Amino acid sequence: MSGSDLSDWHDVIAVAAMEKGWVTAATLGARRLAVYDTSSGIYVSLAACTHGGANLCDGYFDGHVIECPWHQGAFDVRDGRAISAPATRGMKVFEVRVEGGMVQIRL
Amino acid sequence: MTEVITPLTQALAEGKLTRAELRGFMQRSDALAFRHLGLWLLVLAATSALVWLALGTWWLVPAMFAQGVVMVHFFSLQHECVHYTVFRTRRFNDWAGVACGWIIGLPHQFFRYEHCDHHTHTQITGDDPEQVPLPRTIWGYLWYISAIPYWRTKIGEIARHAMGRLTAAERRFVPKVAETTLIREARVMVVVYALILAAMLAFQWAGPLWFWLIPLMMGEPVMRFVRMTEHVGRPTVADMRDNTRTNLIPKPLQFLCWNMNYHAEHHYAASVPFHALPRLHAKLRGYVHVEPGGYIGAHREILAQILGKRPRADQTPVDPG
């Protein structure tokens, strides 16, 4: 592990604390994050919808798609792409790894 | 970013709903959607059969009205599709929503953007693009229910979009990147409707008149009557506990409108599918405004306000504190 790795990776949430097959809320400092448990792994994004700012952690999650609870705009959690109106801008997603039972993201 | 307070976050924060319960309510099902849709289309087939049997007789008038009452409830299905709460498979909602929009003359993409803004600014005068103002007079009330102003607005809207123009008010909720899509959508609609009209004239084809267009015109006042019960006569404030009305109506009507009579619950958690709204209603009992008299009860309230027998809800003083 490089020195850069040590400073860039941050604990977000214990894997055991995540909701299975669903989205779980987490925070890192001032950042509100959404952590997704999917069949292809764990993904993490900022929790605010890029359309109206609602909390995506209260949204409907299915497969790899998170849907905003307010207007049902939707994003692919793998790359943050907006896939459904009224969301037009993608959401910020983070590089993720699991170390010692903790979900970590790279800043 | 500061957390945005939505009706849902309010309900969660006030402990009326837990996130675990919300997860349960939000689960979707293609099977339940197809079952409801299948039965719903059977009802439409039955009224279409009535129209067919009544052709050439005076029974055609009530038969077309019955057909129209069912057809205008394509709006309810389209509305659910806007929220992706009919089918679990997202693209099925898109397909069904577009189809409904073709039948009732409501471009689906445009409606989606407009309706989202309605959920952001529910009942806020000047901001809610779908707000139906509480009429000032009985004539204003009847004028709205006639659906004449509705059709005038909608036909004008499609024509304007087909000409590539959006109003300043529309640009508040339509992102720049979506304008081309909405303009193309309106143009395709105009062309296809024109082709259908041309075919009707060229081949003396009257079927669309008896089974579609006249029933739609006859039925739309019923949909205006229904739509008024959702917010008209409720306070023009941001609080969802006050500004929206749930109407308790007979099961057949509930079936026809895809449970959208549970309108306050829908505004609280718009990701909850139609089949879960009765359960959400039970959960939110006492938390939202419910009209036990249903559509008729809501219109009694609206008329009482118009006639000055009760205070007008659009003049409700806002608590400054």
SS (H, E, C) B206-263: CHHHHHHHHHHHHHHHHHHHHHHHHHCCCCCCCCHHHHCCEECCCHHHHHHCCCCCCH
Q: Which domains are delineated in chain A?
A: 3-106 (2.102.10.10)
Which of A60, A73, A84 shows the shortest C-beta gap to B26? A60
Closest among B33, B36, B60, B34 to B49, alpha carbons compared? B60
* Confidence at B30, pLDDT banded by 50, 70, 90: very high
Chains A, B: CB contacts within 8 A come to 79
**How confident is the model at residue B320, as a pLDDT?**
43
**How confident is the model at residue B239, as a pLDDT?**
87
Closest among B277, B280, B232 to B258, alpha carbons compared? B277
* Confidence at A15, pLDDT banded by 50, 70, 90: very high
Under 8 Å CB-to-CB from A84, ≥6 apart: which residues?
Answer: A67, A72, A73, A74, B84, B90
Test the A interface: residue of B90, B94, B127, B274 with most A CBs within 10 Å: B90
Nearest residue in chain A measured CA to CA from B174: A86
Q: What are phi and psi of B311, to 5 degrees?
A: -60, 140
Mean pLDDT of A12-23: 96
**How confident is the model at residue B16, as a pLDDT?**
86
- Enumerate the β-bridge partners of residue A33: A26, A46
**What secondary structure letter does DSSP report for B276?**
G
**How confident is the model at residue A2, as a pLDDT?**
44
Q: What are phi and psi of B102, to 5 degrees?
A: -65, -40
Q: Collect all residues of chain B within an 8 Å Cβ-Cβ radius of residue A67.
A: 84, 271
Copy the structure tokens of residue B95.
Answer: 């397909």
CA distance A65 to A43: 11
Test the B interface: residue of A61, A66, A71, A75 with most B CBs within 10 Å: A71
Biggest CA–CA distance in chain B, Å, is: 67
Under 8 Å CB-to-CB from B251, ≥6 apart: which residues?
Answer: none
CA distance A74 to A85: 7
Q: Is the ipTM of this complex over 0.85?
A: yes
Query: Are B119 and A22 a contacting pair at CB < 8 A?
Result: no
Which of B6, B28, B84 shows the shortest C-beta gap to A70? B6
Q: b/e per residue, B109-146, with b = 16+ CB within 10 A?
A: bbbbbbbbbbbbbbbeeebbbbbbebbeeeeebeebbe
Residue given tokens 């009579």 in the structure block: B261
Mean pLDDT of B218-244: 95
